[in-house]
Amino acid sequence: MSKPCTITNRTLLAAVVTAILVALASILTAATASASPLIHPQTRVAAIEHSPSQFVGPNETILPGGSRERAPNYDQDATGSSVAAEGGADAAFHYTTSETVDSIMESGLRPGSYATTEGDLSPDEAQVRLALNPAAGERGALIQIDLNGLRAAGYDIPEVTQVAPAYGMPGGGWEMQFPYEIPPQYLQVIRP
């Protein structure tokens, strides 16, 4: 009677060893994580390093003007990573409605305006990644901000932070908020 018991123990032991080997094999041959690693970490975030169509006007110092109100939850601190744009990106981008382009190009961007280093977003992508208020309309217009020109004129370039969720949008894009007015000579319409 002891022999059938020994065979059962051997079978059980073989099953356990097989399960362990299969588990180890699957761990060792599993695909890598889906998040891509930072191969070349920099202070740039999806930025255009040089744009041949970039217009740089005269470098004048203009005092900041008044500011416009923003939605209260949009001005809260963003959660997530932050990356300094100081000395990094050459351009930033302001997504807006086509109705506001003429006014912006005449008067500049008001203090408190937001921009992103992501200049290749569609209006829908901008809405979602930058957590823009849908009630303000489609942000089909795109204005490029000359960060190099601002630096040369003595302006401090704000830090780039990750966009927090707002207005039912997930955010996750990158933004910077300018505490000063950006004069029109540092702006160029990319998409009306």
pLDDT digits (tens, 9 = 90+) for 104-121: 999 999 999 999 999 999
How many DSSP H helices and E strands does the chain contain?
Answer: 4, 7
Q: C-alpha distances in angstroms, 128 versus 71, 125, 132, 172?
A: 16, 5, 7, 8
Predicted pLDDT of residue 172: 94
0.75 cut: is pTM over it?
no
d(CA 94, CA 27): 45
Which tokens go with 12?
Answer: 């059980």
Contact 91, 155 (CB under 8 A): no
Low-confidence ranges of the chain (pLDDT < 70): 1-7, 28-87
DSSP-derived letter for residue 59 is: -
